[in-house]
A and B are shown apart, each in its own frame.
Chain A
Amino acid sequence: QKEVEQDPGPLSVPEGAIVSLNCTYSNSAFQYFMWYRQYSRKGPELLMYTYSSGNKEDGRFTAQVDKSSKYISLFIRDSQPSDSATYLCAMSALDTGRRALTFGSGTRLQVQP
Chain B
Amino acid sequence: SAVISQKPSRDICQRGTSLTIQCQVDSQVTMMFWYRQQPGQSLTLIATANQGSEATYESGFVIDKFPISRPNLTFSTLTVSNMSPEDSSIYLCSVDPGQAQGTQYFGPGTRLTVL
Contact = CB atoms under 8 A, between A and B. Distances in A.
Interface size class of B (residues with CB under 8 A): 20 to 34
B67 interface: no
Given A32-B101, A49-B101, A99-B31, A44 B43 contact: yes
Nearest to B6: A43
Given A49-B101, A49-B103, A41 B111 contact: yes
Contacts, number: 54
Interface string B87-112: 00000100010001111111111010
A43 B102 contact: no
Interface of B: 1, 4, 31, 33, 40-43, 45, 48, 92, 96, 100-109, 111
18 contacts: A34-B101, A36-B106, A42-B108, A42-B109, A43-B92, A43-B109, A45-B106, A46-B105, A88-B43, A99-B96, A99-B102, A100-B33, A100-B45, A100-B48, A101-B102, A101-B104, A105-B41, A106-B42
